[in-house]
Structure 1
Amino acid sequence: MFHPDELRAQALAGFAAVSGGIYSTMPEQHREFFAALPYLFVATLDDHDWPVATVFSGPKGFVRAPDATHLRISSQRRLDDPAQAALQTGRPVGALGLDFSNRRRNRVNGFVGRTDKNRIEIIARQSFGNCPQYIQRRELYPAPARLFPIERLGALDQDARTLIAQADTCFVASAAHVELAEGGVDISHRGGKPGFIYLDDETLWIPDFRGNRYMNTLGNLLAQPRAALVFIDFAQGDILHLQGETRIVWQLASGENVQGAERYWCFKLVSAWRMRQALPWRGRNVEFSAATLRTGIWHDDDRP
């Protein structure tokens, strides 16, 4: 069920035996859930074994699961998006379905099957749900997507810094032990109040709040300390993608007391790119989850 470094992360966190509903195929309710989504978050590895992540969007039904082991995405790929270009047959892949209207989320991990310019097939080997904690409810509405050239950022500019500082949601892609049935690529959600991520020059500090105890992300980062972060500008439709090296802080030092955090991890930027107005939808009317409202943010006297 868990790969060796997920088990090690659970032990370092002080968890007893962890169990949960991780399936080798997709249950019917997961298949129906994915098929009802207008977007899907997907991660894989690039040619240099760095995690990369992207967002696919389309009308209801553009994602479908014809059976319990196949998830098919019918969407034209944007080949200047490094993550979409990396989705080639045989690559490990992880997908996250998240419904912002009701805070449900399910994940599926496996390998890329058949592909062409308008379709990507995921062959599932792990399927599981996640609790809705820290997911902010949002009303999404259609908006025109634009095909502006991708912006490669040599460093974080002011727009990127503002987006990170104001974010209440981000997505993290990681990978480890891809040769094992229990391993692979994973993409997960992180949420908190605006300000829950602290940006120190080009290092991001991210609190790890109480979750499902699977330790999928931190277990991957123990084995392979590389990650990709995706930030969505819900007002403008921008996608900001970061790649960086990571380090986990298991013991909280004096002053590191963001309310609700059990540990932290930091992300040192290596590369970044942005796609302006790339999403065909926007988000408004944010409703913070009860779990989010019980958490805190970074203040001047408790920054690392």
Structure 2
Amino acid sequence: MALNGWHVGEREIHRKMNYLGDPAVQSMFTWVSDEIDPGYAQFHAQCHFLPVTTLDSTGRPWGSILAPQGGETGSKFIRYIGGSRLRVTAEIWEGEPIIRTGKKNMLVAGIGIHFPTRMRNKIAGYATGYTLSQGDRLLELDMRVNETIGNCPKYINIRKFTPHPNSHPKVAAENLDLKEGERLPENLIDFILESDTVFFGTTYVAPAKDADMFPSHLGMNQRGGRKGFIRVSRKDGRTLAMPDYSGNRFMTSLGNVEATSLASFTFVNFETGAVLYLTGVAENVFGEDARRLMPMHSKNALTTLFVTGYTFVLDALPVRQTRGTRAEPSLYSPPIRFLAEEKAGLTLEKPNQMVLLSRIDLHSPTIATFWFKSPTPLTIKPGQAAILSFTGLLGQPRYAHMAESNPKSVNDDLVRTWTISASSTHEFALTMREIPRGVITGAIFNLSQLLVDTSVLDIHLGFIGISGSFSLPPPVTGSETKLLWIAGGIGITPFLSMLRALKEDDSGRRTDIHMILSTREPDVLVPLLMEAADISSDKVKFELDLFTTKSQASGLINAREHPKRVDYKFLQSVELERKIYLCGSKPFEKTILEGLAKCGVDSDQVTMESFSY
């Protein structure tokens, strides 16, 4: 055992995350060893590089990437030299922070990750030797390890690596001390948003009264997710937000930040070898503060980094992702959660706002419309979406570290978003399809088998807010708005809301709508369309091309049936100078966008509903 318990920052993060009552969490510090097993030296030698944390002269942590000479792993890279010491012989390059920060007896921390197998091991201690040679291009670092622990593998994205000895590192951008008002260059922001992995360096500076029991130390960790899981504020161009996903609940990295509000983020492009080193002021954000920053990440904490220094080096890493291979994403990684400032049209309701599930209209065994009543007035643009929390109905999910049979459940906060198919001042409707084995739709579709009027059940759901910019364009006086709507299956729902709005519109606007609907269930969706499209012809022209393998008498004027799928040839025959809206599944959207591209329509000209909130 290396630790004497949790230091003040770790205790505070456990308190804020409501872990203090869990005896398992309180004893986890005993899992940390004060000596590295010689067998783990062999593990580290097989890693393709070693991310480490060191401190600069002002106490700021920087992440460095120590890589083997020529990209060849093995004992010449990392080996055990006895006494819980590792010797790292690494190729380094201009711009590497450790050239500035390195010295004998410095604190250091690292994390060994073998990406092909998702194995990893954290180490921390101090340098017993530090030597630069060959023109500061070869580093020999002896490290006495006094803290080590195997670590959670579940957010590591699997990659295969091969040596890339012909690297030519070049510092492309650097500002080690950003002044007030300075921003990260746009290409570096784009670099961050394309990353699915970050190496997270932290520091704990012990208060004098705690120094003997909880001595100062550094930390190096890895966080992974889907590309873009770390967001960047465009408002100041230098604040990053990293969501915390459900893990092993050690919380050592966030505990360090809680006690000493400094951190480093290091990003690597594994295909080009470019490395971005960031350092700055870090803060953990919780509750309503976190919700205001990243509304859909409501279950755990956020960590922000206000960047105070950076270095960007091109063509640096002497190992690269094997050509022709792709990263295998972790199944545990939840969807990307955007900053509030990124999601156009996002309106948050008051904390603890609730809506009543008032009735259910069952259209088929798998499609239904659910109606909700709000005690406060609603402001909803036709085509927008409602964000609901189902914890009141299903209860708070229990903690689980791993769930091999259902990885997505580990980070499931029971928050879901659906486009609104109808709305009024105090009511809105969601028309949805039951998802096979879906946690949420399975539960509420079970209610539809019981009764239509559900108000007697007094089921209230959390109403987080309204989101989306998928809405009607503003009316233009004296001219006709020409629209092309393309819907795949249940993607028809936002168009139902738009048609209902046009029916009630008294602005004098005139609209010409050409709709393309592809569905296997015309007997269900066409009647919904007919109800919504019951509009006077002097306000709206409406024509429909229905693509379905089932014959369906639509009952709509200017409706044509096509017993096939929407294809490029048909799109060629369509007037594409209209404002185009597209909503459907991802494969349907991809097919339509490819067809439109062949017709000369760029995807930027198409308004789409992403369904990713």
TM norm structure 2: 0.47
| Matched residue, 1:162 | 190
Gaps in structure 2 of 5+ consecutive residues: 133-138, 349-466, 468-613
SS of residue matched to 2:159: strand
Deviation digits for residues 184-238 of structure 1 (CA, Å, limit 9, x no counterpart): 0111111111121111021111101111111111111111111111000122101
Query: Cα 1:30–1:167, aligned 2, differ >3 Å: closer, same or farther?
Result: same
Identity between Structure 1 and Structure 2 (%): 23
Does residue 50 of structure 2 align to residue 40 of structure 1? Answer: yes
| Matched residue, 2:244 | 208
Does residue 124 of structure 2 align to residue 109 of structure 1? Answer: yes
Q: Which amino acid in 1 is paired with 2:189?
A: R
Q: How far off its partner does 1:182 sit?
A: 5.4
Q: Give the number of the structure whose residues are more often strand, by fraction.
A: 1
Q: Which amino acid in 1 is paired with 2:306?
A: K
Gaps in structure 1 of 5+ consecutive residues: none
The answer as to whether partners of 2:38 and 2:80 remain within 8 angstroms in 1 is no
Q: Which amino acid in 1 is paired with 2:314?
A: R
1:125-144 superposed matches below 5 A: 125-143=146-164, 144=166
Distance, in Å, in 1 between the alignment partners of 2:63 and 2:184 is 18
Give the counterpart of 1:269 among 289, 295, 307: 307
Does residue 114 of structure 2 align to residue 75 of structure 1? Answer: no
SS of residue matched to 2:228: coil
Does residue 277 of structure 2 align to residue 241 of structure 1? Answer: yes
Query: Cα 1:259–1:266, aligned 2, differ >3 Å: closer, same or farther?
Result: closer
Q: Which amino acid in 1 is paired with 2:86?
A: L
SS of residue matched to 2:327: strand
Distance, in Å, in 2 between the alignment partners of 1:246 and 1:91 is 22
Give the counterpart of 1:194 among 222, 227, 240: 227
Give the counterpart of 1:148 among 170, 177, 180: 170
Distance, in Å, in 2 between the alignment partners of 1:126 and 1:248 is 24
Q: Which amino acid in 1 is paired with 2:13?
A: A
The answer as to whether partners of 1:258 and 1:295 remain within 8 angstroms in 2 is no
Distance, in Å, in 1 between the alignment partners of 2:99 and 2:223 is 22
Q: How far off its partner does 1:277 sit?
A: 0.6
Q: Which amino acid in 1 is paired with 2:125?
A: G
Does residue 19 of structure 2 align to residue 4 of structure 1? Answer: no
| Matched residue, 2:40 | 30
Distance, in Å, in 1 between the alignment partners of 2:92 and 2:271 is 23
Distance, in Å, in 2 between the alignment partners of 1:241 and 1:50 is 12
Does residue 77 of structure 2 align to residue 89 of structure 1? Answer: no
The answer as to whether partners of 1:170 and 1:230 remain within 8 angstroms in 2 is yes
* Greater relative contact order (Cα < 8 A, sep 6+): 1
Distance, in Å, in 2 between the alignment partners of 1:4 and 1:125 is 20
Give the counterpart of 1:185 among 193, 198, 218: 218
248-257 or 81-90, which moves further after superposition? Answer: 248-257
Distance, in Å, in 2 between the alignment partners of 1:53 and 1:296 is 25
Q: Which amino acid in 1 is paired with 2:14?
A: Q
Distance, in Å, in 1 between the alignment partners of 2:314 and 2:94 is 15
Distance, in Å, in 1 between the alignment partners of 2:191 and 2:309 is 16
Does residue 18 of structure 2 align to residue 14 of structure 1? Answer: yes
Distance, in Å, in 2 between the alignment partners of 1:123 and 1:113 is 6
Distance, in Å, in 1 between the alignment partners of 2:298 and 2:315 is 34
Q: How far off its partner does 1:80 sit?
A: 4.3
SS of residue matched to 2:191: helix
Distance, in Å, in 2 between the alignment partners of 1:8 and 1:217 is 12
Distance, in Å, in 1 between the alignment partners of 2:14 and 2:337 is 25
Query: Cα 1:139–1:297, aligned 2, differ >3 Å: closer, same or farther?
Result: farther
Distance, in Å, in 1 between the alignment partners of 2:7 and 2:267 is 28
Q: How far off its partner does 1:150 sit?
A: 5.8
Distance, in Å, in 1 between the alignment partners of 2:63 and 2:275 is 10
TM norm structure 1: 0.91
Q: How far off its partner does 1:268 sit?
A: 1.0
Q: Which amino acid in 1 is paired with 2:150?
A: G
Does residue 314 of structure 2 align to residue 286 of structure 1? Answer: no
Distance, in Å, in 2 between the alignment partners of 1:39 and 1:216 is 22
Query: Cα 1:258–1:121, aligned 2, differ >3 Å: closer, same or farther?
Result: farther
The answer as to whether partners of 2:53 and 2:109 remain within 8 angstroms in 1 is yes
Q: Which amino acid in 2 is paired with 1:195?
A: G
| Matched residue, 2:351 | none
The answer as to whether partners of 1:227 and 1:243 remain within 8 angstroms in 2 is yes
Distance, in Å, in 1 between the alignment partners of 2:108 and 2:54 is 5
Query: Cα 1:80–1:224, aligned 2, differ >3 Å: closer, same or farther?
Result: same
Q: How far off its partner does 1:68 sit?
A: 5.1
The answer as to whether partners of 2:123 and 2:149 remain within 8 angstroms in 1 is yes
Larger radius of gyration: 2
Deviation digits for residues 10-54 of structure 1 (CA, Å, limit 9, x no counterpart): 122111242332100012442221122231111111111110111
Does residue 204 of structure 2 align to residue 176 of structure 1? Answer: yes
Q: How far off its partner does 1:166 sit?
A: 1.4
Q: How far off its partner does 1:257 sit?
A: 4.2
Computed over aligned residues only, the root mean square deviation of the Cα atoms, in angstroms, reads: 2.2
Q: Which amino acid in 1 is paired with 2:326?
A: N
Deviation digits for residues 222-273 of structure 1 (CA, Å, limit 9, x no counterpart): 1111111100012210110111111211214556444585111211111111
Query: Cα 1:6–1:183, aligned 2, differ >3 Å: closer, same or farther?
Result: farther
Distance, in Å, in 2 between the alignment partners of 1:130 and 1:266 is 23
Distance, in Å, in 2 between the alignment partners of 1:157 and 1:73 is 33
Query: Cα 1:297–1:29, aligned 2, differ >3 Å: closer, same or farther?
Result: farther
Kindly tell me the number of residue pairs found equivalent between the two proteins.
302
